[in-house]
Amino acid sequence: QVQLVESGGGLVQAGGSLRLSCAASGRSFSSYAMGWFRQGPGKEREFVAAITWSGGSTYYADSVKGRFTISRDNAKNTVYLQMNSLKPEDTDVYYCATKLRSDSMRSSFNYDYWGQGTQVTVSS
């Protein structure tokens, strides 16, 4: 069992930055790939970024590439999402998730444990 708790969301003006954190507890955090997704009202959950267990490979949605950076600190059982140059269309609830299997990093259906989400609001 893995428990995930996100933090760092909030209200920011367009062009600003936020850093989200996801603290994990439970077994073998360092063995699992981690991902960030986002979802707004009436929308499907959307892939944002993912990172392999070692941090050696990262993946990004085209909409955030060059603006967002995912990283992890296995000693702290924490994964981060640094978000720069934020836009109003980045407004959503952001979720972190962990996956146990080595299949696609971009599909939410492949993730096994989810946090409760943190709200990010970008004003224009």
Check if the beta carbon of residue 79 is closer than 8 Å to that of residue 95. Answer: no
Confidence of residue 101 (pLDDT cuts 50, 70, 90): confident
pLDDT at 121: 98
Q: DSSP string covering the chain, please?
A: -EEEEEE--EEEETT--EEEEEEEEETTGGGSEEEEEEE-TTS--EEEEEE-TTS--EEE-TTTTTTEEEEEETTTTEEEEEE-S--GGG-EEEEEEEE-SSS-SS-GGG--EE---EEEEEE-
State pLDDT tens for residues 41-79. 899 999 999 999 888 999 999 999 999 999 999 999 999
State pLDDT tens for residues 22-36. 999 987 777 889 999
For the chain, percent of residues with pLDDT exceeding 90 = 84
Check if the beta carbon of residue 17 is closer than 8 Å to that of residue 83. Answer: yes
How far CA 54 is from CA of 6, 32, 78, 85, in Å, comes to 20, 9, 13, 27
For the chain, percent of residues with pLDDT exceeding 70 = 99
State pLDDT tens for residues 87-96. 999 999 999 9
